[in-house]
């Protein structure tokens, strides 16, 4: 019963994290520490993809594990790398008897760990990284530990994907808002030029665009200057339409 309470507390911590302001590295650190404390392992580390899809060692429950995660990244070889690429768990119950991951295996044994187990941070077809679990004593993880680890990583992956979707939507909304505001500014400037020179809106736009190109300025910058009646566009505001021909 005590372990069930700890598992519930771990899920509660992971679910409440976003209430305090979301940071992926801190969230991954919480996942690593919770798994290291809850499962029959001695340490844990998380590899996570960034904006460009490249893996980084973002969290570890111990400094030694952080160094081992960097070894995986440096040589692109190890259980965490393999689990991320395949999307399935990778288990090595006794590194002393293994032949995989030469550099990582040697470094891990030298650090005092004899077994490693990696679980993917994956939902449907989208992989975000992996969780690598380290044991000082050789041996398989129990079925219960594997299922608990998979449940925690699945929950964390869903949270990370949801947060990234929110951030992407917010970025897109900001870009659309900026584009809309720029369009409004340009339309206002076109109206001012059209009234000043007796032009249609298309003629006013061409006049403004030609001026921006000549002065090597952004169109929206020129438009704002027109609205503000800035001295920097005095020549444009005072120019007769026929003076732009040729």
The pLDDT value recorded for residue 21 is: 64
The pLDDT value recorded for residue 20 is: 55
Ranked by mean pLDDT, the top range of 48-52, 149-153, 233-237 is 149-153
The pLDDT of residue 106 is above 80: yes
Other Cβ atoms less than 10 A from the Cβ of 92: the count is 23
3-state secondary structure of 121: strand
> What is the pTM for the complete model shown?
0.71
CA distance 100 to 206: 66
The pLDDT of residue 246 is above 50: no
**Contact of 121 with 115, CB cutoff 8 Å:** no
**Contact of 190 with 202, CB cutoff 8 Å:** no
What average pLDDT score do residues 38-55 get?
92
Question: Which CATH superfamily, name and number, covers 2-162?
Answer: GAF domain (3.30.450.40)
More confident residue, 1 or 139: 139
- Going by C-beta distance under 8 Å and a sequence separation of 6 or more, which residues neighbour residue 119? 83, 89, 130, 131, 133, 149, 150, 153
CA distance 162 to 151: 17
Question: Is residue 18 very low, low, confident or very high in pLDDT (cuts 50, 70, 90)?
Answer: low
Q: Indicate the domain borders of the chain.
A: 2-162, 172-244
The pLDDT of residue 241 is above 70: no
- Averaged pLDDT score across all residues of the chain: 87
What average pLDDT score do residues 77-90 get?
95
The pLDDT value recorded for residue 230 is: 82
What is the share, in percent, of the chain residues with pLDDT greater than 70? 94
| CATH architecture label of 172-244 | Orthogonal Bundle (1.10)
Ranked by mean pLDDT, the top range of 46-50, 125-129, 236-240 is 46-50
The pLDDT value recorded for residue 245 is: 40
The answer for 41, left when phi > 0, alpha when psi is -120 to 50, beta otherwise, is beta
Ranked by mean pLDDT, the top range of 9-23, 135-149, 225-239 is 135-149
Least confident of 38-52, 80-94, 119-133, 172-186: 172-186
């Amino acid at each position: 019963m005590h372990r069930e309470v700890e598992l519930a507390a771990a899920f509660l911590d992971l679910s409440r994290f976003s209430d305090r302001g979301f940071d992926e590295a801190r969230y991954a650190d919480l996942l690593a520490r919770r798994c290291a404390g809850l499962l029959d392992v001695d340490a844990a580390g998380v590899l996570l993809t960034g904006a460009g899809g490249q893996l980084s060692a973002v969290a570890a429950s111990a400094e030694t594990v952080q160094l081992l995660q960097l070894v995986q990244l440096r040589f692109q070889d190890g259980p965490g790398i393999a689990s991320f690429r395949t999307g399935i768990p990778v288990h090595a119950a006794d590194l002393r008897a293994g032949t995989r991951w030469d550099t990582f295996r040697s470094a891990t044994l030298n650090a005092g760990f004899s077994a490693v187990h990696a679980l993917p941070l994956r939902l449907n077809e989208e992989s975000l990284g992996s969780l690598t679990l380290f044991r000082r004593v050789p041996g398989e993880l129990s079925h219960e530990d594997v299922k608990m680890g998979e449940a925690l990583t699945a929950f964390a992956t869903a949270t990370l994907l949801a947060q990234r979707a929110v951030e992407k939507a917010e970025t897109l909304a900001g870009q659309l808002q900026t584009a809309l505001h720029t369009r409004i500014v340009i339309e206002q400037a076109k109206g001012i030029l059209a009234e000043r020179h007796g032009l249609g809106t298309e003629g006013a736009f061409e006049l403004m665009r030609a001026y921006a190109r000549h002065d090597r300025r952004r169109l929206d910058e020129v438009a704002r200057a027109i609205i503000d009646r800035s001295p920097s566009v005095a020549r444009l505001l005072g120019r007769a339409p026929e003076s732009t021909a040729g």
